[in-house]
Amino acid sequence: MNIEKIFRNIPVLSEISLDTVLFESKYPVMFTCKNGNDVYLFICCLVNASIAKWIGTKTSYETLIELLKNRVTIQDAFLSVVDEKLVITYDGNNVDCNVVQSKKIPRELLPTDGEYMDAEDDEYAEEIAVFKSRSENMEYKIQPRISSLLSLKYQTSVTLTDDYFNVDLGVMDEMKLSIGEISNQWAVFA
């Protein structure tokens, strides 16, 4: 089951990518996804021979860090940040997505009340470090237009990714970077 391919059939999630699997069995059960500048927390709440169902919510890296440090329950992390939740159903052929207010989500779809991640002290240290870095930086997806030069006018350091490289703009007002054949780059402004 390719979760990205399934979710990309939903217009508001057309650019979604699976980011971090927090818990898995035969398939990812709890995971994060990125869609543009948004981060989502998804929970697979039902899988059987005929259907798969997920609930998802926009979240924040701060909330994810609190979850992984056992400071908030899974349900509290899921229900916080925004009130609108996504309920996604896939029957093997068709994808259905409904936006549901938190109060209207059937309780059997939500994580058990009072349940924590129960993570060991350093079990999610790597994920926490990544989420902390992301929460302290602003990420922008850069889509070059006709020009093959990217012009930046920031007094800060910039990280462009495919292979991440840093450019220190503190010594100049503007820098033009050749981006060649690359159609999409991420820039992290620290």
**In terms of domains, do 102 and 146 share one?**
no
Pairwise pLDDT comparison (75 vs 183), residue with the higher score: 75
pLDDT attached to residue 138: 55
Pairwise pLDDT comparison (175 vs 36), residue with the higher score: 36
**In terms of domains, do 152 and 88 share one?**
no
**In terms of domains, do 121 and 150 share one?**
no
**In terms of domains, do 131 and 151 share one?**
no
Name the domain count of the chain: 2
**In terms of domains, do 93 and 180 share one?**
no
- What is the mean pLDDT of the segment spanning 19-30? 89
- Residues of the domain holding 170: 138-189
**In terms of domains, do 58 and 152 share one?**
no
For 144-176, give one letter per residue: b (16+ CB within 10 A) or e: eeeeeebebeeeeebbbeeeeeebebeeeeebe
Strand partners, 14: none
**In terms of domains, do 84 and 120 share one?**
yes
Judged against a pLDDT cut of 90, whether residue 119 lies above it is answered with no
**In terms of domains, do 102 and 179 share one?**
no
**In terms of domains, do 48 and 132 share one?**
yes
pTM listed for this prediction: 0.70
- pLDDT, one tens digit per residue, over 120-133 is 888 999 999 999 98
- pLDDT, one tens digit per residue, over 40-97 is 999 998 899 899 999 999 999 999 999 999 999 999 999 988 999 999 999 999 999 9
Closest by CA to 116, choosing from 22, 34, 52, is 22
- pLDDT, one tens digit per residue, over 131-169 is 998 887 655 444 444 444 444 443 344 444 443 444 444
DSSP assignment of 35-75 equals: ETTEEEEEEEEEE-SS-EEEEEEEE-HHHHHHHHTTSS-HH
